[in-house]
Structure 1
Amino acid sequence: MTPLWHDHNKTGSRRSRLTLALSGLVALLLCLIPWSGTAVAHGSVVDPASRNYGCWLRWGSDFQNPAMAQEDPMCWQAWQDDTNAMWNWNGLYRNGSAGNFQAVIPNGQLCSGGQTEGGRYNSLDAVGPWKTTDVSSNFTVRLHDQASHGADYILVYVTRQGFDPTTQPLTWNDLQLLTRTGRYAPSQNYTIDVSTSGLSGRHVVYTIWQASHMDQTYFLCSDVNFR
């Protein structure tokens, strides 16, 4: 008769091998999963929502729903172009601009940060009926800084009256500066109060966030409707 302790030893050995195998499988699967924006944290304007943050907010849990094509066609084309633009909604930045933004970002590429990050965000430059956030003449831009980079300054622009983002690509000449802030100490949430006059209908709010930890600049398009 085989001693009872010997059976226990075999059982324990099998369990150890199984545990080791499962650990290896989990490690392999983790290597295959692409990093999301929440894993490699940076930040974005969350109100009025930047284009890719808004797409993630509305469709992140349902991004394969074919109804998006009719209900939210601009987000649909963005999800089809590169899903990582939405999963990494907080990674739309350029390094080393040295404050000379118009030199590094051509007209028509403002919403993608000059096709930054290997073109991941190119779909955000697409012209069309992006979903808007209703705002009044005085409103607040809310920027979420997941990594607490801080800000040397934040610039907030709005498109001039008469510009139509549903039919025209965004250029530097279409923008008028609303405010330039001072420094923000590292935190996770910044608010910028802005005032406008004489604006109505659809516009683009363009936010440039110069982070403090290095020469890293975020270029963020938010579509709004002035009531």
Structure 2
Amino acid sequence: MRTRTTRRRGIVALVVATMACLFVFTPTASAHGTIVGPPTRAYQCWDDWGSDHMNPDMQQQDPMCYQAFQANPDTMWNWMSALRDGLGGNFQGSTPDGQLCSNGLSRNNSLNLAGPWKTTTINDNFTMHLHDQAAHGADFFRVYVSKQGFDPTTRSLGWGDLDFITQTGSYPPANDITFNVQTSGYSGHHVIFTIWQASHLDQTYMWCSDVIFN
């Protein structure tokens, strides 16, 4: 009886422990979002390589995504989780130069590295598209473009490398939010830097999207 009871208790404990681990390690990041058009660096890597991330061809075909997957695959798996709480609007003071593309998150530092990130071709007037799995809405979006002459392949992005373009108004909760951005005078490879201030809490998201202005 003691042996059976001990085994039964052991099985129950194992089940409880397994369920607890599943609860603890289930990503809460699934309840957030990112800019999918033009895609952010993490989203582009996940979208292109998520189902083929062990492919050795990535090292030659997409070296920036390759180094990002090598550094921390969770950066791409949780492309929707690049948030920080409680910045109180102090975006620049809370985010050092060279850490903009990771939103100051050390686990996503691979996104800050200079290099040949894949680009999306756009015109002077283009559309931004946020996909938000939990439909938080937005207090605003703030959009910047790297200055003409800044080279994302050789330098990490700093605040002084950016031109402020626009800040939107608020948006109600929705899974997909799109808004238009108008620019002029840009050509070649640029970084679009976007700040999303979510509406439900003081949560700030910052991303880099690599583009070619044609």
- Normalised by the size of structure 2, how large is the TM-score? 0.89
Q: Which residue pairs with 1:71 in the alignment?
A: 61
- The answer on 1:144 being equivalent to 2:135 is no
Residue 45 of structure 2 corresponds to residue 55 of structure 1: yes
Contact 2:196 2:206 in 1 (8 A): yes
State whether structure 2 residue 208 is matched by structure 1 residue 221. Answer: yes
- What is the letter of the counterpart of residue 223 of structure 1? D
Q: CA deviation at 1:189?
A: 0.8
**1:40 match: secondary structure:** helix
1:204 and 2:191 correspond: yes
2:3 aligned residue: none
Matched, 1:104 2:94: yes
2:189 maps to amino acid: R
Go from structure 1 to structure 2 and tell me whether the alpha carbon gap of 1:171 and 1:131 turns closer, same or farther (over 3 Å shift).
Answer: same
Matched letter for residue 143 of structure 1: L
Structure 2 counterpart of 1:186: 173
- Decide whether the 8 Å contact of 1:112 with 1:125 is kept in 2: yes
Measure, in 2, the Cα distance between the counterparts of 1:192 and 1:221.
17
The answer to whether the Cα contact below 8 Å between 1:151 and 1:211 also exists between their aligned partners in 2 is yes
Superposition deviation, residue 40 in structure 1: 2.7
Which stretch of structure 1 is more off in the superposition, 145-154 or 69-78? 145-154
Could you say if the C-alpha distance between residues 35 and 66 of structure 1 is closer, same or farther in structure 2, counting changes exceeding 3 Å?
farther
Unaligned runs of 5+ in 2: 1-7
Instruction: State the match for 1:31 in structure 2.
Output: 22
CA contact (8 A) 2:30 2:133 kept: no
Whether 1:164 and 2:151 are equivalent positions in the alignment is yes
Partners of 1:67 and 1:174 in 2: CA distance: 33
Are the equivalent residues in 2 in contact too, given 1:208–1:219 (CA < 8 A)?
A: yes
SS at match of 2:30: coil
CA root-mean-square deviation: 2.2
* 8 Å Cα contact 1:94-1:218 kept in structure 2: yes
Deviations 1:47-100 (A, max 9, x none): 000000000000000001111000000000000000100010000011111101
1:45 aligns with 2:45: no
> Structure 1 segments of 4 or more deviating over 3 A?
27-30, 32-37
Please state how far the C-alpha of 1:164 moved relative to its aligned partner. 0.3
Percent identity at matched positions? 54
- Count of residues in Structure 1 that have an aligned counterpart in Structure 2: 204
Task: Please list every run of 5 or more consecutive structure 1 residues that lacks an aligned counterpart in the other structure.
Answer: 1-16
CA contact (8 A) 1:204 1:221 kept: yes
Highest Rg: 1 or 2?
A: 1
